[in-house]
Every structure is written in structure tokens, then in C-alpha cells.
Amino acid sequence: MDPLWWIGAGLVFVVIEILTLGFVLIMFAGGAFAAALASALGAPTWLQFVVFAAASVLLLFALRPWLLRRLKRRMPLEETNVAAQLGRSAMVVADVGPLGGRIKLSGEVWSARAARDGLVFPEGAEVQVVRIDGATAVVDAVARDSAPSTSTTHDSNPHS
């Protein structure tokens, strides 16, 4: 196989890596460049693929973890998506109990439920997101607030 094919594949991996920034495809680019070198040295095609695979795996398991640790030490990574919502406070817009309710979280209305049985957060209460289950925020009392009211009866209306 011509070394230019491997160099072309390596460059494609580099361009895609620049767009994704996952430190995975750059390791495949390194494998492709190693295979290009093997090709230039006259290695048969099967050996070029072995060199590509071995170099890629070696880079993935040896170099990638080191690069990620270095990057995390230099700059804190900002959480996104669901992970960014954990620990945030939210405002109850429809009573939240163990069976459901609604909160306003980061400017959006979410379905929510109380983290523990027996807790009911009334409309207007401030709560804290402790986890996300699917599209439902599971909430508990904010540490600085007084304890939420308890209720022995649960409203079974799903629209509350």
C-alpha cells in the first residue's frame, strides 16, 4: 500500500480530532503515520495494518491518559449537559412530591420529583438537584433552607 494513503488517512484523523477534541482520533492518526513509515520501508500490506493497529492501541492506552491528566491540571473542564445541572438550585413552579411536580432549572421548566418519600416542596420553594433520572430532576431541600413540609397523602394527579 502506498505511504500516501496512510498519510492521507492520518491527516483526515487529525482534522476530525480538531473538531471533536477527544484525544482518540489523534491516536489513530499516529498509527496511520507509523503505518506510512512501515510502508515507506517496504513492509507488506498486512504488516502495515498490524503496525497501524499496534501503534494506535499503544498510543490510546499509554499517551492518551497522560495527555488528559495534563490537560485537566492546566485548566478545569467545565461540566455540560446533565452533569452541569447537578447541585444547582431550582424554583418549584408546581408542588413537587415523590410522584412528581415541576421546577424551573436554568431558565427551563423540568419535571421533578422529591428525592425522599414523604417530602413535598410547595410552589415557590427553592430546591437543589441531586440527580437526573431520564428527563426528571430529582430534588431535595437546599441546605440553608428549613426542612420541607412532610405529607402522608400523595396527590396522584400527574399534572401537578
Q: Is the predicted pLDDT of residue 159 greater than 50, yes or no? A: no
What average pLDDT score do residues 122-137 get?
86
Whole-structure pTM value: 0.50
Q: Is 158 within a domain?
A: no
Q: Is the model more confident about 160 or about 13?
A: 13
Q: Is 159 within a domain?
A: no
What average pLDDT score do residues 33-55 get?
96
Q: Is the predicted pLDDT of residue 134 greater than 60, yes or no? A: yes
Question: Which pLDDT does position 80 carry in this prediction?
Answer: 52
- Secondary structure E strands in 76-144: 89-97, 100-105, 108-114, 119-120, 126-133, 136-141
Domain boundary among 30, 55, 74: 74
Q: Does 54 lie in the same domain as 35?
A: yes
Question: Which pLDDT does position 107 carry in this prediction?
Answer: 83
Q: Is 157 within a domain?
A: no
Q: How many domains in the chain? A: 2
d(Cα 124, Cα 118) in Å, to the nearest integer? 18
Question: Which pLDDT does position 14 carry in this prediction?
Answer: 95
Task: Read off the pLDDT of residues 29-41 as tens digits, 9 standing for 90 and up.
Answer: 999 999 999 999 9
Domain that holds residue 106: 82-150
Q: Cell 493497529 belongs to which residue?
A: 53
CATH of the domain at 109: 2.40.50.140
d(Cα 137, Cα 63) in Å, to the nearest integer? 38
Question: Which pLDDT does position 78 carry in this prediction?
Answer: 61
Q: Percent of the chain beyond pLDDT 70?
A: 83
Q: Does 141 lie in the same domain as 86?
A: yes
Kindly report the average pLDDT of the chain as a whole number. Answer: 83
Domain boundary among 30, 50, 74: 74
